[in-house]
Amino acid sequence: MNDRQGLPAGLLATAAWQERLDAAVARHRVPGCQVGVLALDDEGGVEVRVLASGLTSLDTGVEVTADALFQYGSISKVWTTTLVMQLVDEGRLTLDTRVVDVLPEFALAEAGHAEAITVRQLLTHTSGIDGDVFTDTGDGDDCVAKYVEALAEAGSTTRPDGPLSYCNAGFVLAGRIVEVLRGTTWDEAVATHVVGKLGTRHAVTRPAQALLFRAAVGHLPDRSDPERPVAPAPVWTLPRSVGPAGLITGSADALLRFAAAHLRDGVTPTGERLLSAESARAMRTPQVDLTARSTVDNAWGLGWILTDWAGPDGPVRAAQHGGHTIGQHAKLHAFPELGIAVCVLTNSDDGAGLVEELLALVGEELGLRYPTPLVDRDAEPAVLDEMLGVYETVLARYTLFRDDEGGVSAKMARKSPLGGEDELVEPPTPVRPAGRGRFVSVINGADTEFTRVVDGEDEYLYMYRLFRKVSAPTA
């Protein structure tokens, strides 16, 4: 089906839209932002519009322009998937190739797990590997290889091919597969096999490259100054070793040109073939059903999350992904049926609320309604009693407990890698029941769904990644 409609004449193109963006940035207390839209025309060309607002850094006062760079964060996973699918196109591997057949050195702490994991499981977050592994293995070209070696001590969240749990480590492994089969670094593979085909310079993977452009700095909450609720983060980026999971930095224009290649079934705006049409379509074909876990997301494809927006004649499917790094939030939604893509890039840890508001505003002009979590307004806190408890990943502890007012609240703490006291990073916040086994809470300024998942004797909270239940509530 082809319902290409082009872009409304005024979308992101009027003084009123600039005022609307500036007001939203100020209201959410986000230092800076880009919002962009792209549409394919009937001849296969593209129209891109980008609007910018605010500052790249509160310390420097440098303004955000349309060509400024923001961190894409985990949207980078779709780029890494694209690199893997290029290798599939070339017959260098298949989705069902075992990882150890390409990386014989790959091992995990759980006996037998590494040998069972396939490339498909890496790209669909079903490898079972504990995903929140951010080992810093230095800045050398061998950092990804060293990261893979260090996984020999990493644990597992589930068995291979078990319940989906968001896994950064799996995409670093995918990036290492690219390195081995290409005989180069992941960074160079991105530059040569993706960015070089898009007709843009404004997408990079290394901090030294970002310095050549106007680059946004992440901002974190600052409780000490009510007049300045966020402050520039002390660290600009994550370790180079996790690049394939989330270290591409670029402009909204470059991100939309990447999306255009997928909307055009593998052909970039410059006319070069990035992927075969078969692989581009496979990436947005459902692999893992999410309807039992989410009222927002339908399925996980290969790299992409598949989400329906409400349209005038029924649901309209988006291939989408978000990103969250050190004080930056990003989101990309591409609509294959419409030939349209939209993205929002921000430089605040609490930027998720702004991202969702802007996506909803753009959606209104496109005749689409942005999907948000469904809340059961009649549900009593008692429907969550079976979920109360303490849940953990390797880096975080999430506690769901009955508060003094009889409601249900939650708090998040970061687990110290050195042991000892946890550092509280989120104060207790009330949650809203969304029916049995599900609730909604505000995370980074946006409504976020949590769902109970039971797998054999194990119980989890699902919020993209799985938090394993370890005990009854302690507070």
Task: Name residues whose C-beta falls within 8 Å of residue 363's C-beta, 6 or more positions apart in sequence.
Answer: 309, 342, 369, 370
- Which letter, b or e, does each residue of 206-233 get, where b requires 16 or more Cβ atoms within 10 Å of its Cβ? beebbeebebbbbbebeeeeeeeebbbb
Q: Is 292 exposed, middle or buried (0-12, 13-18, 19+ CB in 10 A)?
A: exposed
In whole angstroms, give the CA distance from residue 366 to residue 336.
Answer: 14
- Which string of DSSP letters, residue by residue, matches 49-117? EEEEEEBS-TTT-PBP-TT-BEE-GGGHHHHHHHHHHHHHHTTS--TT-BHHHH-TT---SSTTHHHH-
Token duo for residue 454: 């039971």
Q: Is 125 left (phi over 0), alpha (psi -120 to 50) or beta?
A: left
Q: Is 461 exposed, middle or buried (0-12, 13-18, 19+ CB in 10 A)?
A: buried
* Helix runs in 344-458, H state only: 352-366
Residue type at 397 in one-letter notation: R
- Bridge partners, residue 344, by sequence: 35, 331
Rg (CA), the chain: 21
* Phi and psi, residue 219, nearest 5°: -125, 140
In whole angstroms, give the CA distance from residue 204 to residue 225.
Answer: 34
CB atoms within 10 A of CB 370: 20
In whole angstroms, give the CA distance from residue 305 to residue 300.
Answer: 5
- Bridge partners, residue 271, by sequence: none
Given 53, 57, 74, 241, the catalytic residue = 74
Token duo for residue 369: 């309604």
For the question of residue 74 being annotated catalytic, the response is: yes
Token duo for residue 384: 């969550």
Only one residue has tokens 């790209």, namely 123
Token duo for residue 168: 């950064």
- Helix, strand and coil content of the chain, in percent to the nearest 5, comes to 30, 30, 45
Task: Name residues whose C-beta falls within 8 Å of residue 373's C-beta, 6 or more positions apart in sequence.
Answer: 294, 295, 296, 434, 440, 447, 448, 449
For the annotated catalytic residues, the residue numbers are 74
